[in-house]
Amino acid sequence: MGSACTSTSGHEPRAPREPTVAAIILGAGQSRRMGEGNKLLVEVDGAPMIARVVAAVLATRARPVVVVTGHDAASVRGALSGQEVTFVHNPRYAEGMSTSLRAGIKGIGDVDGALICLGDMPRIRPADLEALLCAFAPDGGRPIVVPTWQGRRGNPVLFAARYFPEMCALTGDVGARVVLEKHATAVCSVAMSDHGVTLDVDTVEALAALTRLPPAR
């Protein structure tokens, strides 16, 4: 049960403000483990992989939605033409994921948190993302929110803005997992009913396995 709230100003007490959350979609990678071509442009369920991710994010209340480009930037932008996203180009994408994370954070403005999404997870569902947004409470003991499926941690991960400086200080080909592990006691895990939060496509074999699965519900 919640605690009672008494107003002494003659006005009704205000409801808690809903945290503002942006989404950063990392789409700058070189797809080295997939061979030739850009894996983000491979069609999954009738649309480019990264377009599937963007569609899921846009179906939630997370705003703004920032897509970080790098390798094959023009093609990635073309695959998302007309979508309600902001593009941020990372000219240093070859130096690793940390540079794209930094570029994305600098492009989201003043928000309470950011959902860090990978562009190669086309089976993410809007319901999964909304569950993370609902669990997020940066001032209420849940400043980092992680999805799980059958006990396995997945993506995307939602970080409160207080962690942005640490994320921007990362170097090399590392993502935000370092920050996640450092602040393990601040993590809130949200169990999902679908394995889409654990399905990222890094290899040809992973793509083949994905295409054998039924489309996301």
Residue-level pLDDT, tens digit, the chain, 217 residues: 222 222 333 445 445 679 999 999 999 988 676 666 788 999 988 999 999 999 999 999 999 999 999 999 999 999 999 999 999 999 999 999 999 999 999 999 999 999 999 999 999 999 999 999 999 999 999 999 999 999 999 999 999 999 999 999 999 988 899 999 999 999 999 999 999 999 988 777 777 777 766 665 5
On whether the CB atoms of residues 75 and 37 are closer than 8 A, the answer is: no
The C-alpha angle with vertex 84 and arms to 167 and 195, in degrees rounded to 5, equals: 60
Q: 100 — phi, psi (to 5°)? A: -70, -40
Q: What is the pLDDT of residue 35?
A: 60
Domains and CATH numbers, the chain: 21-211 (3.90.550.10)
Alpha carbon dihedral 204, 39, 208, 152, in 10-degree steps, equals 90
Q: Which residues, including other chains, have CB under 8 Å from residue 46's CB and lie 6 or more apart?
A: none
On whether the CB atoms of residues 191 and 114 are closer than 8 A, the answer is: no
Cis peptide before 126 (omega within 30 of 0): no
